[in-house]
Chain A
Amino acid sequence: MVINITRNLRLANKGRQEEIIMTAGTKKRKLLALLGIFIFFLLNPPLMQTFNREASLGGIPALVLYIHLVWILAIAGLYAFSRSSSRE
């Protein structure tokens, strides 16, 4: 029974998901990809290198801070995408 329900759900979802993909819009996808690549870029030299120094803010080293901020940014971006996608 569970199988059926979930399968039906899945089948139904598939349909919806097609819509989601369709309506997710190439634009959004491109934005997401762009953000991802951007994040990757952020976490590589040279940008990493700029923060790779002995500086600290409130005791926390610049690098650590930088990395974590980027991380939070990534999560935020992902969250935003997720929200807008699931809303449709």
Chain B
Amino acid sequence: MLDTGLVAAAAFGYLILLFAIAYYGDRQRSRGRSIIANPYIYALSLAAYCTAWTFFGSVGKAATSGVTFLTIYLGPTIIAFSWWFGLRKLLRICKENHLTTMSDFLALRYGKGAFLGALATVGVLFAITPYIGLQLKSISGTFNILIYQEAAPPLTMPIYQDTAFYVALLLAMFGILFGARHLDPTERHEGLVAVVVFESIVELLAFVSLGLLVTFGLFPGWGEIFTRIQQSPGLEQLLLVNTGPHNSYSLLLVLTLLAMGAIHFLPRMFHMAVVENTDERHILTAIWLFPLYLLLINLFVMPIAFGGLLLGLPPEQADTFVLRIPLQTGHPYLALLVFLGGLSASTAMVAVASIAVSTMVVNSLVMPLAIRLRLQERITPHLLTIKRSAILLLILLGYFGYHFLFPTVMLVDIGLIAFCGVMQLVPAMLGALYWREATRWGAIAGLGSGFFLWGYTLVLPYFVEAGWFSPTLLAQGPFGLAFFKPTAFLGLTGLDKLSHTFFWSLLFNAGAFVGVSLITTPSPVEEEQARRFVGVFEQERELPLEKRYTSFPSLDHLTHFLESLIGHRKAAAARRAFLQEVAIPESEWGDREKLRLAGFVERTLAGSIGPAAARVIVEGYLSSLGSRMEDVFDLFSRISSSLEESEQQLRRRVAELSVLFEAARRLAYSPYIPDLLEGVLGVLEEQLGIETCAVRLLDERGYLHIKGSRGLPPEAREQVVKPGPESLLGQCLSNFTPQVVALGDSPETGPRLRGLLEEEIMGSLVLAPIATETVTLGVLTAAGSQKGFFTREHVEFFQSLAGQLGLAVRTANMEEALRLDESRLEAVWQLSRMAGASLKEITDFAMEEGVRLTKSKIGYLAFMNEDETVLTMQAWSKTAMEECIVVDKPLIYPLETTGLWGEAVRQRRPIITNDYAAANPFKKGYPPGHVEVRRHLNIPVFDGDHIVAVAGVGNKDEEYDESDVRQLTLLMNAMWWQIKRQREEDALAAEVERGIYFQKLLIHTCMDGIVGNDMDGVIRTFNDTAAKIMGYEPGEVLGRMNIRDLYAPGQFREIEARIHDPFYGGEGVLENYESLIRHQDGSLVPVWLSARLLKENDREIGMIAHIKDLRERKRMEEELLRSERLAILGKMAAHISHEIKNPLMLIGGFARQVLKDFAQDPQKNLEKLHIIVDEVKRLEEFLVEVGSYAKFSEPQKKPGNLNALIQETCQRLEPSLRESKINLALALDPGLPETQFDPGHLRQVILNIAKNAIEAMDTGGALTIATGLRTGRIFVTIGDTGVGIPPEVQEKIFQPFFSSKPKGSGLGLAISQKIVQAHQGEIVIDSEPGKGTQVTIYLPAESYTKLPSNK
């Protein structure tokens, strides 16, 4: 009995202390100095397991059932063995996903659906609420006992008088203060933990103290107590087990199992063990420390229980022995301590449980409901308030529940009911951790059926007892169905209530869970979560990205979003944490990082509102922004081997691929075939350990040559085989298929093995064709000494390898051909540039190139003669020269004696001899000392049909092939062409030279002087004759003098002018022009020149003139003229004297006669005097003519119309015309231009000619006068039809005093000619005797007179 006030004060003070500790704990945490990040603290925090139940209930149970109570504590000890794996896994998952409650855990794991979480929450609620109630009851009960020594208060006590009520409120406040001060995503409440630990210690202390008191204070020791119990009748069973249904083995088992489940899945335990954990490694301490604590705290349970019994306390009060004993034995303060211990235990439980369960309620009930009703926006700011209300409500619910529902039920039982209730979570939780195929429906089915059966078989009976349902339900089952009796479900009897419930609920639970999970398939989300949960310890593998978000918001957006839900500080912290985790700046984020961010945000929120709600909110937010999750197309989804392939197959495939990869690498390394082959063979040998393998390649004729091998003798390389169709090699080639053959059993010979070597046919053999899509190149063989070395599975691999090789070889061949072509083209180009080289240089170069291109060692070139009978050596390669020691090599080889290398000519095609040593009908041997020939290729070089040369190369390391032939042929052809061209060019050059020489000859031997000058007047051509004429040496003149200097001053300008004038021979031509040139000595030399303008492409480039020295001619002309003149003069004198003589004679004669006969006949004298006068007149006329001829005066030219003149003249002629009966026809060109002439003179001319014409037609005829313009000159034609003028007369007709007429002075035409010439014209006579005469007068047209004359 203690003073109420004292007790109250003590209690209150204690609670204040707790508050202080909690506050301190929280403060330290916010400062960063956590006081509970300590493994011992963690381990002791688990002691929340020990509630009032432990304190009071254990003793109660020990007093009634003995040892069985230990099961509740042995269970955790046993399961502690699994904590390092099981609990840690749970821990890891919860920490990674920010899971703070079991319902969240289940919800997240099973598809993030809210229903499961809600179901779990509701079940737990039902299980725990009474439990909370019982704690409250124990507090109030114990309080009362302390004060009144009476336990239960009357039921009718109003609430406000019930201490428990106030305690409830106080605890609610405590819970709120230390569990719901703010929304922490991690839900860690360090203050709370500190309190729990403190309380654990207080509990232990209190219990141990009491225990010590009882065991050693009240009794002499353990042994004594036990012995006395043993001796007490009816109590000895307490020391044994399995003495009845209340402590049967099955019950023990059930209790142990329940404890093993409860230690994890009581909400407060989950919270303390998982949520409040700071470090996984603390578990290592907890696994032994916690069992130790349990051991210690239970050490004195039995002594106390038995002690109480022995002290005579009634067993029904066993719950409160711990108080009653010290009270009764006079240790009130110890009782107070015990009371405080009990208070500790209860408060710890209530606080933690209420916080944990309220979180469950908020996350799994409230939030999902709000989201369903689309109220999440309105709810989230008030989450904290909701949580606090939940705490309060829960505690009050516990209180009321207990108050009204279970006032009579024992502590113990309620505890076990709760245990059994939370046990229903075990299948789903275990499945979540360890079973990938567990599905949501399975969990729901399991949980639903489990909770239902638990409720039905365990809770319902209590309700019935409390009077809520009719007792017939228990007695006869629901609706009279005895089969479904709650306490004997399905007819199972003989079990105590707990075992019965345990059995059925877990059977249905696990059965439904497993069964439904197997039937249903997990959704992708579930699958992913399953993977993440079950495989949480596995290294994070980078799985291929399967999903991505479209239009994902930026980090800032998301941070803002988080802020609105969990506050600014936490959002910022989360943002920092994420950035640190990702370690890539946002600008470089890809789809993977965005996916992670989405998950991260979800998890962060999950800590505050549960994963289901978090998921919905985040997805809602994202979709409101238009961001949607879509599939990522996996490019390699079709390539990757399906997961159905076994691990072994995959391994083998990987190995194969790595070998193929290595082979590919080596094949890519070099373009040379030998290297490629070595590469592949090397891979086979090194990586696969195949010691005998070979590569055979086909040549153009279909023979297989071993080009590379391993494990075969070197002579094998020489083997050349044409595989027949029956042989394995042949089949391989023709079918394109690889084969695996097991040999060695019975000795196989014959066609099948043809071409294969001994080493290859020992055991098993793989043949794979080396081919590209179109062409088979060879065969790859690999041999093993054992029969079964190669199997079918290897075939594919070898096929791949051979295929790779095929491609590589083909590429190498192509590249080789290309390279050779390039080389050759380069050589050809070089040849083409050897324009000035000698024949020897060309052939030497071509020879060396030929040797190089065909990779030979020696080479030679011989030219063929015209009729292809003799070869003449032209060039040898350097090495041929060096190696051959034959002295005095013959250069000439008649074809008949040449051996193999003449065959190319005889057969007119290239000859390849790859084995010179072998017998060959064409060989004729070679002289000793000659360089040894091992391989030989020679080709004929054609020019059209004609062989012009033979080229040969020899001693290539490999065999000669078509490619070599081609290259050499093309090269030699190019060389020949070059030679030919060279020759042609030379011939052309020689011709050109000859031409030039001849030209020079022409010029210099020309009898005329040839002078050529360029546009500037510089003399470029000056032949010898010109030199002779002008008296210069060519050397002085050429390129030095100007043409103007050669001519007399001004002459050249005239020439230049006239040459451009078409009149003098044509445009650019000057013909027959007389000019003067200046002799070297300064004298002027008359020359007669013709000149021509030199044009090139219509451009004047110079002038060339042919010059005739006129001096001689001039002299001769002068002589002739003089003699002519003299002759003429003579003639004239003679003519004049004659002309004068006759009349004079007449005159004289008659005059004398007259004188004589003066007096005689005057008539006769008169006649004679008339005759004398006539004669005198004639003489006068004659003398006038002579005079006019002598005094030829210059014409007075003035412009006039010729036609008019002619017409006028014709008028004068009319009488004469009439007289002679001559018709006059005028054909005067009316368009005749005006011209300048002396009308008098021209009249005279026309008259003269017309008179002549008239005289020629003395028997009549026609006189035609025509005028016109012809070839730039005006002509006047006077034609007659007279007797004509004989040619010999025509020559002399213009001579003075020449006449064909008896009368006449013979001067007429001479004068006419003179006149016309003075007009710069000419007279032309055209006559045919008997036909007529046409006299044409040409006069220059006006245009001429325009030219400046510098005369």
The chain A residues found within 8 Å of chain B, CB to CB, are 1-7, 9-10, 13-14, 17-18, 20-21, 24, 29, 32-33, 35-36, 39-40, 43-45, 48-49, 52-54, 56, 58-61, 63-64, 67-68, 71-72, 74-79, 81-82, 85-86
Once bound together, how far apart are the Cα atoms of A81 and B288, in whole Å? 9
Find the residue from A54, A61, A76 having the highest chain B CB count within 10 A.
Answer: A61
List 29 A–B pairs whose Cβ atoms lie within 8 Å, in order of A's numbering.
A2-B30, A3-B186, A3-B577, A4-B573, A4-B576, A6-B34, A7-B577, A13-B279, A18-B537, A33-B81, A33-B82, A39-B81, A43-B74, A44-B249, A48-B249, A54-B239, A54-B240, A56-B223, A59-B223, A59-B224, A59-B225, A60-B223, A60-B226, A71-B74, A74-B78, A77-B81, A79-B288, A81-B287, A85-B284
Interface size class of B (residues with CB under 8 A): 35 or more
Residues of B within 8 A of A63 (CB): 67, 239-241
Whether A67 pairs with B67 at a CB distance below 8 angstroms is yes
Give A40's nearest chain B residue, CB to CB.
B78
Q: Residue among B30, B78, B281 with the most chain A CB within 10 A? A: B78
User: How long is the Cα–Cα vector from A74 to B288 in the complex, in angstroms?
Assistant: 8
Contact: A78 with B291, CB < 8 Å? yes
Q: Any chain A CB within 8 A of the CB of B434?
A: no
7 nearest CB pairs, A to B: A59-B223, A36-B81, A79-B288, A78-B288, A82-B284, A61-B239, A78-B287
Write out the residue numbers on chain A whose beta carbons fall within 8 Å of the beta carbon of B577: 3-4, 7
Q: Are B281 and A17 in contact (CB under 8 A)?
A: yes
Residue pair B242, A82 in contact (C-beta under 8 Å): no
Residues of chain A within 8 A (CB-CB) of B222 are: 59-60
Q: Name the contact of B280 in the complex, choosing from A4, A7, A13, A29 (C-beta under 8 A).
A: A13
Residues of B close to A58: CB separation below 8 A = 223
B287 / chain A contacts, CB cutoff of 8 Å: 78, 81-82
Closest chain B CB from A7 CB (angstroms): 6
Query: For the complex, what is the distance from the CA of A49 to the CA of B85, rounded to whole Å?
Result: 31
Q: Answer whether A43 and B78 are a contact pair too, CB < 8 Å, given A56-B227, A64-B67.
A: yes
CB A12 to nearest CB in B, in angstroms, measures 10
**Across the two chains, which residue of chain B brings its CB closest to A84?**
B284
Q: Which single member of A33, A77, A82 contacts B285 (CB below 8 Å)?
A: A82
Report the bound CA distance from A10 to B253 in whole Å.
38
- A43 cross-chain contacts in B, Cβ below 8 A: 74, 78, 256
CA distance A13 to B280 in the complex (A): 8
CB contacts (< 8 Å) of B239 on chain A: these are 54, 61, 63-64
Q: How far is the CB of B1139 from chain A (nearest CB, A)?
A: 158
C-alpha gap A33/B85 in the complex (Å)? 10
Q: Does B84 contact A (CB under 8 A)?
A: yes
Say if the beta carbon of B70 comes within 8 Å of chain A: yes
Please name the residue on chain B nearest to A62 by beta carbon.
B239
Which residues of the other chain, B, contact A86 by a CB distance below 8 angstroms? 281, 284-285
A57 to chain B, nearest CB (A): 9
A75→B573 contact, CB < 8 A: no
Q: In the complex, what residue of chain A is closest to B302 when comparing beta carbons? A: A64
Contact B84 A10 (CB under 8 A): no
B280 closest partner in A (C-beta): A17
Asked if B292 lies at the interface with its beta carbon under 8 angstroms from chain A, I say yes
Cβ B576 vs Cβ A59 within 8 A: no
CB atoms of B32 and A32 under 8 A apart: no
Q: Could you tell me the distance between the alpha carbons of A60 and B219 in the complex, rounded to whole angstroms?
A: 14
User: Which residue of chain A is the closest to B570 with respect to CB atoms?
Assistant: A3
Whose C-beta in chain A lies nearest to the C-beta of B573? A3
Query: Is B291's CB under 8 angstroms from A52's CB?
Result: no
**Distance in Å: Cβ of B183 to nearest Cβ of chain A:** 14
CA–CA, A41 and B815, complex, Å? 79
CA gap between A6 and B80 in the complex, in Å? 25
> 1/0 per position for B84-118, CB-CB distance to A under 8 A?
11000000000100000000000000000000000
Residue among B77, B280, B577 with most chain A CB within 10 A: B77
Majority SS at the chain A contact face: helix
B: which residues have CB within 8 A of A?
Answer: 29-30, 32, 34, 37, 67, 70, 74, 77-82, 84-85, 95, 186, 221-227, 230, 236, 239-242, 249, 252-253, 256, 278-281, 284-285, 287-288, 291-292, 295, 302, 537, 539, 573, 576-577
The residue that A10 contacts in the complex, of B95, B225, B288, with Cβ under 8 A, is B95
Cα(A5)–Cα(B225), bound, Å: 53
Report the separation of the CA atoms of residues A14 and B37 in the bound assembly, to the nearest whole angstrom.
16
Docked complex Cα distance between A60 and B881 (Å): 119
Interchain CB contact (< 8 A) of B78 among A1, A17, A36: A36
Q: How far is the CB of A72 from chain B (nearest CB, A)?
A: 7
In-complex Cβ contact of A52 among B32, B240, B279 (8 A): B240
Distance in Å: Cβ of B255 to nearest Cβ of chain A? 11
Question: What A residues does B292 contact at CB under 8 A?
Answer: 75
For A33, what are the chain B residues with a Cβ–Cβ distance below 8 Å? 81-82
A71: which B residues are within 8 A, CB to CB?
A: 74, 77, 291, 295
For residue A18, which residues in chain B have a CB less than 8 angstroms away from its CB? 537, 539
Contact A64 B288 (CB under 8 A): no
Chain A residues, CB < 8 A from B37: 6
Taking a contact as CB atoms under 8 Å apart, the answer to whether A48 and B241 are in contact is: yes
**Bound complex: CA of A72 vs CA of B73, how far in Å?**
13
Known: A2-B34, A43-B256, A59-B226. A74 touches B284 (CB 8 A): no
Contacts of A79 in B (CB 8 A): 288
Smallest Cβ-Cβ distance to B95: which chain A residue:
A10
Q: Which residues of B contact A5 (CB under 8 A)?
A: 32
Interface centre among A2, A21, A56 (most CB of B within 10 A): A2
Chain B residues within an 8 Å CB radius of A53: 240
Residues of chain B contacted by A67 (CB below 8 angstroms): 67, 70, 74
CB distance from B528 to the nearest CB of A (A): 21
A39 CA / B76 CA spacing, docked (Å) = 12
**A44 partner residues in chain B, CB cutoff 8 A:** 249, 252-253
CB neighbours (8 Å) of B186 from chain A are 3
Distance, CA A73 to CA B241, complexed state (A): 21
Of chain A, the residue at the smallest CB distance from B186 is: A3
Question: Do A81 and B84 touch across chains, with their CB atoms under 8 A apart?
Answer: yes
In whole angstroms, how far apart are the Cα atoms of A58 and B279 in the complex? 44
Residues of A within 8 A of B67 (CB): 63-64, 67
Q: Which residue of B lies closest to A17 (CB)?
A: B280
- In this complex, the member of B285, B287, B576 whose beta carbon has the largest number of chain A beta carbons within 10 angstroms is B287
- How many Å from the CB of A70 to the closest CB on chain B? 8
Q: A1–B456 Cα gap in the complex (Å)? A: 50
B residues near A17, Cβ cutoff 8 Å: 280-281
What residues on B are CB-neighbors of A36 within 8 Å? 78-82
Q: Is the CB of A75 within 8 A of B291?
A: yes
**Nearest neighbor of B227 in chain A, beta-carbon distance:** A59
Q: A49 to B81, Cβ gap below 8 A?
A: no
**Given A56-B230, A64-B67, A82-B284, 14 other A-B residues pairs in contact with their CB atoms under 8 A:** A1-B32, A3-B186, A35-B81, A40-B78, A52-B242, A56-B223, A59-B222, A60-B223, A61-B226, A61-B240, A63-B67, A71-B77, A76-B288, A81-B284
Q: How far is the CA of A17 from the CA of B95 in the complex (A)?
A: 14
Residue of B29, B226, B241, B252 near A2 (CB, 8 A) is B29
Q: How far is the CA of A7 from the CA of B98 in the complex (A)?
A: 12
Q: Which residues of A contact B80 (CB under 8 A)?
A: 36, 74, 78
| Residue numbers in A under 8 Å from B29 (CB-CB) | 2
Q: Please name all residues of chain A whose beta carbon is closer than 8 Å to the beta carbon of B77 when the two chains form the complex.
A: 39, 71, 74-75
Measured in the bound complex, the distance between the Cα atoms of B249 and A29 in whole Å is 29
Closest to A9 in B: B279
A21 and B537 in contact, given A59-B227, A61-B226 (Cβ under 8 angstroms): yes
Could you tell me the distance in whole angstroms from the C-beta of A86 to the nearest C-beta in chain B? 5
Residues of chain A within 8 A of B79, CB atoms compared = 36
Which chain B residues border A74 with CB–CB below 8 Å? 77-78, 80-81, 291
| Contact call B81/A13, Cβ cutoff below 8 A | no
Q: Give Cα A33–Cα B78 distance, bound, in whole angstroms.
A: 10
Task: Give chain A nearest CB distance to B171 CB in angstroms.
Answer: 27
Alpha-carbon gap, A45 to B247, bound state (A): 13
Query: Does A82 lie within 8 Å of B288, measured CB to CB?
Result: yes
Q: How far is the CB of B783 from chain A (nearest CB, A)?
A: 44
> Least Cβ distance of A77 to chain B in Å?
8
Chain B residues with Cβ below 8 Å from A1 are 32
